[in-house]
Amino acid sequence: MDYKNAGVDIEAGYQSVELMKKYVKETMRPEVLGGIGGFSGAFSMEAIKNMEKPTLVSGTDGVGTKIKLAFLMDKHDTVGIDCVAMCVNDIACAGGEPLFFLDYIACGKNEPAKIATIVKGVAEGCRQCGAALIGGETAEHPGLMPEDEYDLAGFAVGVVDEKDLITGANLKAGDVLIGIASSGVHSNGFSLVRKVFEMTKESLDTYYDELGKTLGEALIEPTIIYVKALKSIRDNGVTIKACSHITGGGFYENVPRMLHDGVHAVIRKDSYTVPAIFRLLQEKGSIDEHMMYNTYNMGIGMIVAVDPADADRAMAAVRAAGETCHVIGEITDGDKGVTIC
């Protein structure tokens, strides 16, 4: 009896590391000390020593049950982008610059090519936000997970000068809410998605004219990483007063998180076109509209609040970063919360 007979293939683990090295290398920053394969990742703080009060911000998350689509479609190169996005978008909401990322893959059986493909997606997400992929773990769990399944989670650390933290403290009535478009469902609400649509290869391969693609292609579209768009706003001299990443809980849970007591957010549904995937989901599932806005991003993945005098400049900066945006509402006096009308 040996470890391989017990279900853990050490050699496959070594092979996975070798296959992923080229992707990891593409994410390196000058601050990274050492290479992949050590017991920990080392990151020099030299580059941030000139900040007045450097403040670390962190985020951790996974991909959720969206990962089931990857299994069914046998497509594993984009869920890593989702994993990075879910972590670094939260860091960006605080005004932080992502510095480094670590991933954790738990699998029933280590298939080196598949693991390397997953990490390729993680590395692409890191490349998009400028973070270094400085470490990770692939854990083989025979008997605990099916051999052909895995789970993926990650952890990111960023930095911001304390004076530049986005807190929402200076929000006031009249401030403008700018919504930055999502790419689709992103990585939240898939437990409901999987109840509405039959999760079979035939169903996912079905082409919908209104989507312009198959259902599977629309659903697995990776989460947009908003780090560069938010940085572009700041680099153009605009102060982001408050920021909300629209994830699980949709508008009703996430928008109030950017508000302080005494201010209220008003969002107008007719200020932008809700993407077809959400209309299809609502129709097929007979889902109440309130529930849709309480579960999904409805086409808006990030909301920023700025002074009305800065709105045009902020939107130009977002577009220069390659993203689509709309003025979707404003801040008013009132109880902390959000009205969607």
Q: Identify whether residues 16 and 156 lie together within a single domain.
A: yes
DSSP for residue 258: G
Which of 104, 131, 164 is a domain's end point? 164
What is the number of structural domains in the chain?
2
pLDDT tens track for 290-317: 999 999 999 999 999 999 999 999 999 9
Task: Give CA separation, 260 vs 175, 180, 245, in Å.
Answer: 13, 22, 16
pLDDT tens track for 59-102: 999 999 999 999 999 999 999 999 999 999 999 999 999 999 99
Q: Identify whether residues 183 and 315 lie together within a single domain.
A: yes
Determine whether 339 is exposed, middle or buried from the number of CB atoms within 10 Å of its CB (0-12, 13-18, 19+): middle
Residue 283 domain flag: yes
pLDDT of 5 above 70: no
pLDDT of 165 above 80: yes
Which of 129, 164, 199 is a domain's end point? 164
Which of 101, 133, 164 is a domain's end point? 164
Domain enclosing residue 90, as ranges = 10-164
Residue 58 sits in a domain whose CATH number is 3.30.1330.10
pLDDT of 245 above 70: yes
DSSP for residue 334: S
Query: How sure is the predictor about 173, in pLDDT bands with cuts at 50, 70 and 90?
Result: very high
Task: Give CA separation, 53 vs 58, 159, 164, 193, in Å.
Answer: 16, 10, 10, 44
pLDDT of 14 above 80: no
DSSP for residue 314: H
Residue 226 sits in a domain whose CATH number is 3.90.650.10
Q: Identify whether residues 30 and 135 lie together within a single domain.
A: yes
Q: Identify whether residues 283 and 228 lie together within a single domain.
A: yes
Residue 1 domain flag: no
Question: Cα(324)–Cα(233) distance, rounded to whole angstroms?
Answer: 13
Per-residue pLDDT at 261? 97
Residue with the larger pLDDT of the pair 47 and 324 = 324
pLDDT of 146 above 60: yes
